[in-house]
Amino acid sequence: MASSPLLQLFFGVGPLLLAILDSARGSNTTTPLVIWHGMGDSCCNPLSMGAIKKMVEEEVPGVYVLSLKIGETIIQDTENSFFMNVNAQVAFVCDQLAKDPKLKGGYNAMGFSQGGQFLRAVAQRCPSPPMKILISIGGSTKECMVSLAVQERARPSVTGSASISTLRPTPISCRIILVQAQYWHDPLNEELYRTHSLFLADINQERGVNASYKKNLQSLNKFVMVKFLQDHIVDPVDTEWFGFLKPGQAKETETLQESALYTEDRLGLAEMDKAGKLVFLASDGDHLQFTKEWFNAKLLPYLR
Ligand SMILES: *[C@@H]1O[C@H](CO)[C@@H](O)[C@H](O)[C@H]1NC(C)=O
Ligand SMILES: *[C@@H]1O[C@H](CO)[C@@H](O)[C@H](O)[C@H]1NC(C)=O
């Protein structure tokens, strides 16, 4: 039986209609979000990254959220956050992002604690696909990450409507690390310290200036840094806003704007600051502890 003209019309025009609808949908999709967890955490813990992912998906309908898993399994992912060479972790992630068709048009990135630091390396080293907005939550920018690397179990604790548990991390001071680094004897920690500080010196342009690092970082639309006002894990807490100890001593701190990194603008942060691309946010609370209300009010606007 021959199909009716009406059906023929439908089959003729249908695909076109669908294509138009699809492209309309495509032009109205939200920017994907890539999340990198902290030390001792994993991609998919329902109490931490899983909860964050769900929260964002609820608030930003249709958003694609990729919570990074470094390795094949969740156990590997957690172990790698302690022990895997950081450069290799960054390369692993760059590869994963480049292969993901959903990220082709670019993505926003949100890193927790060391995850924020590592995502900045991704922004600086891997411009494709392009990162649009980088949000570093409680991420230290300097050597005190070494202490985190050894001591921290960095899981966010969201209070309020979503209650998220947290392990009690051991506080350890960057000032102490700085003074005692030469007496650092535990072989595992020493290894971690060395690779971590080489990594940081590289991405902070302390071993020479890589022009592409600067150019790539500057192509961000925004670089949002969240500092926790009662953070007892990261000391000095100023490093969450790219500040640090003044050179040559372990007492006084300086802000990013006072630092040589800024005045010499090795990383392009001064230019970004002047262009209004740097956002400094503070949250009341200890390391990675914030309320859902705070998250929604302060961070969600960057993800819509
Ligand atoms: C996408 O579509 C929704 C619903 O029609 C609309 O409210 C929203 O503003 C659109 N977003 C963009 C980015 O165009
Ligand atoms: C700059 O960094 C990129 C990305 O990591 C690297 O491929 C390149 O070799 C570096 N250039 C210099 C001069 O170190």
* Tokens at 186, concatenated: 């535990």
- Asked if pLDDT for residue 210 goes beyond 80, the answer is yes
Q: Is residue 19 part of a domain?
A: no
Query: Which atom of ligand 2 lies nearest, measured to the CA of 211?
Result: 1
Q: Is residue 73 part of a domain?
A: yes
Question: Is ligand 2 within 6 A of the CB of residue 120?
Answer: no
pTM of the model: 0.80
Q: Is residue 87 part of a domain?
A: yes
Q: Please say whether the beta carbons of 164 and 124 come within 8 A.
A: no
* Rounded mean pLDDT, 205-210: 89
* DSSP state at residue 245: E
Q: Is residue 18 part of a domain?
A: no
Distances from the Cα of 166 to the Cαs of 157, 159, 170, 201, 284, in angstroms? 6, 11, 12, 30, 16
Rounded CA-CA distance 180/178 in Å is: 6
Question: Ligand 2, residues 212, 266, 267: which to mutate, most atoms within 8 A of Cβ?
Answer: 212
Q: What are phi and psi of 227, to 5 degrees?
A: -110, 140
Q: Is residue 14 part of a domain?
A: no
For residue 19, what pLDDT band results from cuts at 50, 70 and 90? low
Q: Is residue 202 part of a domain?
A: yes
Say how many Å lie between the CA of residue 62 and the centre of ligand 1: 11
- Asked if pLDDT for residue 105 goes beyond 80, the answer is yes
Predicted local distance difference test score (pLDDT) of residue 201: 85
Predicted local distance difference test score (pLDDT) of residue 286: 83
**What domain count does the chain have?**
1
- Asked if pLDDT for residue 59 goes beyond 50, the answer is yes
First CA to last CA across the chain, in angstroms? 51
278 contacts: CB under 8 Å, gap ≥ 6: 222, 223, 225, 269, 272
For residue 67, the cross-strand partners are 35
Predicted local distance difference test score (pLDDT) of residue 11: 52
For residue 160, what pLDDT band results from cuts at 50, 70 and 90? very low
259 contacts: CB under 8 Å, gap ≥ 6: 242, 243, 244
Nearest by Cα to 288 from 138, 144, 119: 138
By residue range, what is the domain housing residue 61? 31-302
| 232 counts as catalytic | no
Q: Is residue 11 part of a domain?
A: no
Distances from the Cα of 149 to the Cαs of 39, 41, 79, in angstroms? 7, 12, 12
Predicted local distance difference test score (pLDDT) of residue 183: 44
| 67 counts as catalytic | no
Predicted local distance difference test score (pLDDT) of residue 63: 96
**CATH label of the domain that carries residue 183:** 3.40.50.1820
CB neighbours of residue 39 within 10 Å: 21
Q: Is residue 287 part of a domain?
A: yes
The string of pLDDT tens digits covering residues 222-267 is 999 999 998 877 778 888 888 888 877 778 889 999 998 999 999 9
User: 271 or 141: whose pLDDT is higher?
Assistant: 271
Predicted local distance difference test score (pLDDT) of residue 280: 96
| 287 counts as catalytic | yes
- Asked if pLDDT for residue 91 goes beyond 50, the answer is yes
* Tokens at 112, concatenated: 């927790």
Predicted local distance difference test score (pLDDT) of residue 83: 80
CB neighbours of residue 206 within 10 Å: 16
